[in-house]
Structures are given as C-alpha cells and as structure tokens.
Chain A
Amino acid sequence: MVKVEFLGPIQKEPLELDITNLNELATILQDDPQMKEWLENSAVAVNDTLVSSRDFALKDGDKVALLPPVCGG
C-alpha cells in the first residue's frame, strides 16, 4: 500500500491506496470534488523528495505528499 498525505491547509485525512504510479493517484484524486481546487496548485513529493513526472513508479510502503502553495516567513 502507498500512503498519501495532504499537507498544510488541505483538510483531508491520509489515504492508503493500492497504486503503482502517480498516474493512478491523479485519476483517483481528480474524482474527488474536495481535491479539485488543490490539484492545480500542489506539488508532489515521494518519500519526501519532490517529483516532476507522473510516470514515477510507486512501490509498497512509499509515502506520497501533496504540498499546496507555501508562504514562510
């Protein structure tokens, strides 16, 4: 299973999903009305490293995080 976490202001509980790449995650989240506003402006990290391709392969135990727009300081 892959754990998906929603960081900062995204008010959503973590998910445990049986998926093998980020394309599958995109399909699942695009069907979630609550996530519509966040998908366009959120970055994605796998095991705490930012990724830039949806073809990124996922394996059992991986952790995916969605990071919405930031503003430190």
Chain B
Amino acid sequence: MLYLYDGSLDVPTILKDWYESEANSNYGAYIPFVGTVRSEDEIDGLSFDIYEPILNKWFNDWQDKAKEKGAVIKMAHSRGDVMLHESSYIAAVFSPKRRVALEFIDEFVEDFKASAPIWKYDLKDGQRVYALDRSTAIKGSGLLS
C-alpha cells in the first residue's frame, strides 16, 4: 500500500497503524525504514513534488515482486514542505521470515531513490531550490538529447 500525505508524516501513528493492520497476518518480520530531514547546509527543511501516475505503477511493480516472496510493502511519502527533524518517508516490509524483509527493504529503498518520480527541493532563506546535485537521472535519461 502506498500512502501520500500533505506535509510531514505522523511517524508513531503510521507505524502503529501498519503494525496493527498486519498483526494477525502471520508475518514473522516487520522492518520499517523512517527517513528524517536532517539539519545540513543551513536548510530550513525540504519540499517535494510527486508525479503520482508513474509512482503508482513503480510501486505496484514492487508490490508484485514482494508478493512472489510472500511479503508485503508499505510506503508513505510527503508532498510539499517538511521541516527539520520531521519525517518525509517511511517504507516497511512485512514477510514470513526476516531475511526476505531485510533484503527487500534494502533493494526497495535503493530503487526508490533511483527511480521513483519524486523531486526534492531545499527550503533555504525563503527559497525553494531544486536539489539537482543530490538527484539521480532515471535509467534511460537523455533519450531526447
């Protein structure tokens, strides 16, 4: 399941809701990853744009891969502004055994960084500045150059 929110994520509530939603599903492992906005380069926070049609397809492909292993993925992400020490991203894998979940959370988050159609901006001095130097070109970029 994919959940998008305006602004920062309510981490305790989301983790609790996910836990409770699968508490009786007979999964042996629940491995969450919580991303928090850190203070660096004098930013006030981060801001995000999301293109939902392609994000949904990308996520559904991963959910299908997880299903083949008997696992399920959940992900929450923010739209708009998220300030320092708040969370903008949570991903979690539930699986029957820990090894599948540990491997999946690693692969999933890495591919998320490289492929998910989300754009990050630094909030600094009242400006919203695209974080080009921390961004990754999607595989196959440059087709029209």
Residues of A at the B interface (CB closer than 8 Å) are 7-9, 22, 25-26, 29-30, 39-45, 48-54, 65-73
Which B residues are within 8 Å of any A CB, using their own CB? Answer: 35, 48-49, 51, 53-54, 57, 77, 88-89, 109, 112-121, 130-132, 134-145
Please tell me if the beta carbons of B140 and A72 are within 8 angstroms of each other in the complex: no
When the two chains form their complex, are residues B143 and A54 in contact, meaning their CB atoms are under 8 A apart? yes
Report yes or no: A43 in contact with B118, Cβ–Cβ below 8 A. Answer: no
How far apart are the CA atoms of A51 and B77 in the complex, in Å? Answer: 25
Q: Is the CB of B144 within 8 A of A48?
A: no
Which B residues touch A68, using CB under 8 A? 119, 135, 137
Known: A42-B137, A43-B139, A43-B143. 9 other contacts (CB 8 A): A9-B119, A39-B142, A44-B143, A50-B138, A71-B113, A71-B131, A72-B120, A73-B35, A73-B109
Describe B's contact surface by its main secondary structure. mixed
Kindly report which residue of chain B lies nearest to residue A45, judged by CB atoms.
B54
Residue of B112, B115, B118, B140 with most chain A CB atoms under a 10 A cut-off: B140
Partner of A71, one of B54, B134, B139: B134
In the bound complex, residues from chain A placing their C-beta under 8 Å from that of B135 are 68-71
Cβ contacts under 8 Å, B145 to chain A:
26, 30, 39-40
* In-complex Cβ contact of B141 among A26, A43, A49 (8 A): A43
Return B89 CB to nearest CB of chain A, in Å: 4
Instruction: Specify which of B54, B118, B134, B139 lies most central, judged by the most chain A CB atoms within 10 Å of its CB.
Output: B54
Centre residue among A43, A49, A54 by max chain B CB count within 10 A: A43
The reply to whether B130 and A9 contact each other, CB–CB distance below 8 Å, is yes
CB pair B144–A26 under 8 Å, yes or no, is yes
CB closest residue in chain B, given A27: B144
A42 touching B144, Cβ below 8 Å: yes
B47 to chain A, nearest CB (A): 11
Chain B residues within an 8 Å CB radius of A73: 35, 77, 88-89, 109, 112-113, 118, 120
